[in-house]
Copies of this chain bind each other. A is one copy, B any other.
Amino acid sequence: MRIAPLALAGIAVLAVPAIAQRALPTASVKVDPAVAKARDAALKDDVAWDIVEGLTTEVGQRLAATEAEARARAWAVVKLKALGFKNVHIETYTMPVWVRGVETAEIVGPYPQKLTLAALGRSGATPPEGITAPVVYFPTFNDLLAAPDGSLTGKIAFVSNQMKATQDGSGYGAFGAARFIGANVAAKKGAAAILIRSIGSDKGRWPHTGGTNFAPGVTPIPAAALSVADAEQLERIFKRTDKVSIKLVLTPKTLPDAESGNVVAEVPGTDPNAGVIVVGGHLDSWDLGTGAIDDGAGVAITTAAAKRLLDGPRPRRTIRVVWFGAEEPGGFGGQAYAKAHATEKFAMAAESDFGADNIWRFSVNFPDSAKAVGDRLGAALGPLGIVRSREKAGDGTDVGPLFALGTSAVDLNQSGLRYFDWHHTPEDTLDKIDLDQLRQNVAAWTAMLWVVANAPEDWDKVTPKGS
């Protein structure tokens, strides 16, 4: 390991490993005993479990803009009121609705067998009787990009790029392109349909669904994810022959626009001029699992942390918990929220939407006038094993539109090492949540909210990450 100099606060330059520079050292700031006490008490939290257990058991899947999501909103209102939150209400909007239909695939030749798959959100449909077409194999997404225009006419593209789990989730960004835009690329090259290897880190037989995007003017083609095991089966067959044909039936539908909504609840602050803090997760889920890790956990964690402030001394800033609707099909809830509240003063926004495993890292995006808030967060979160990233905060589909308005950000990063084993599959169920790790999340969010909501500093808008 390379040894590089590093300046520590108040200490002469020492030789320390270069890897030590990946995180910011903790500032020598004393932690407010009230913060430490609230944080440590949250390590025995039961509220988060109660919420995610209840939501996944009593509602189950909550596909955006369907009656199931509406039932979830009603459930949320009852729960948030029972917890004592103030100003509990629903803010609605309308949006297109995409629902799954029949989805089957079978290899017609050379080795007849059924494959397991799931349509991607916004996928086009085959005729009810399906299509049978030759398959063109692309080991990576780049190989698909390199295919000549028109070369896929009448064919099914099969893209099998392999995602690996990473703690920071970057594998999803790197390999997810095959799902995010692969169908659009294949459609423009004339493909009759596209099958991708699931964007997942497991080896199992459940397919991972998720949205795909078609550019304006591109007619959606049928698009589905094979399970990783089925994709590897197809790869083994392509090692034997490139003459593979598949019969595909995929009949999803886009229904008339329907209502979705955000559920809002508040911990009132003492200073109406200090700006509102928005935290939350998304209430909707894909339709295959019960949305425990994506994102029952997120609404549970942020609500449980806010509840701890609700039950403590009244914070300076109002904390607004938002259970966003319709994140999965494209962040409709977050966009509607920012649009409706564009003129309001927000002090900070943050979301939890990456499961329930331990938070291992955090980052902030405050203006210089509030630099000390980040340092106090570092000191308060360190005892939970959380390092401070040098990167600027500002991730999140639902709070992204608030960041774009100049709202300050805190990112609390959960470990992604297991998340993509189950993400967007039927395995997204309650049993995947580890109670101890869920509680560590609540503790981190409690400490973070306590520090930021009570910060004596005032600050204005900030330059968003990536701007």
Contact = CB atoms under 8 A, between A and B. Distances in A.
A149 interface: no
A219 interface: no
Contacts of A204: 427
Interface in A34-83: 53, 57-61, 68
Given A229-B431, A429-B229, A431-B229, A57 B236 contact: yes
Contacts of A60: 111-114, 233
A114 B288 CA distance: 9
A232 B57 CA distance: 10
Interface residues of A, number: 29
A57 B111 contact: yes
A427 B202 CA distance: 12
A147 interface: no
Interface string A309-341: 000000000000000000000000000000000
Residue in A53, A61, A206 whose Cβ sees the most chain B Cβ within 10 Å: A206
Interface in A104-121: 111-114, 116
Contacts of A116: 426
A237 interface: yes
A461 interface: no
Contacts of A206: 205-206
A203 interface: yes
Contact of A236 (B53, B68, B113): B53
Given A205-B426, A205-B429, A429-B205, A233 B113 contact: no
Contacts of A203: 431
B61 A113 contact: yes
Contacts of A213: none
A397 interface: no
Contacts of A53: 236
Contacts of A232: 430-431
Q: Tell me the number of copies of this protein.
A: 2
A212 interface: no
A22 B112 CA distance: 48
A58 B205 contact: no
B427 A205 contact: yes
A290 interface: yes
Contact of A429 (B233, B426, B430): B233
A347 to B, nearest CB: 38
Interface string A247-288: 000000000000000000000000000000000000000000
A424 to B, nearest CB: 13
Contacts of A57: 111, 233, 236-237, 240
Contacts of A236: 53, 57, 430
Given A60-B111, A61-B113, A233 B427 contact: no
Interface in A413-463: 426-427, 429-431
Contacts of A237: 57
Nearest to A116: B426
A431 B228 CA distance: 10
> Which of A60, A116, A290 has the most chain B CB within a 10 Å cutoff?
A60
Interface centre among A53, A57, A61, A290 (most CB of B within 10 A): A57
Contacts of A113: 59-61, 290
Interface string A199-227: 00001111000000000000000000000
A384 to B, nearest CB: 27
A356 to B, nearest CB: 16
A426 B206 CA distance: 9
A371 to B, nearest CB: 46
A431 B196 CA distance: 19
A257 to B, nearest CB: 23
B290 A233 contact: yes
Given A116-B426, A204-B427, A58 B229 contact: no
Interface in A83-141: 111-114, 116
Contacts of A229: 427, 429, 431
A90 to B, nearest CB: 20
Interface of A: 53, 57-61, 68, 111-114, 116, 203-206, 229, 232-233, 236-237, 240, 289-290, 426-427, 429-431
5 contacts: A61-B114, A204-B427, A205-B426, A229-B429, A233-B430
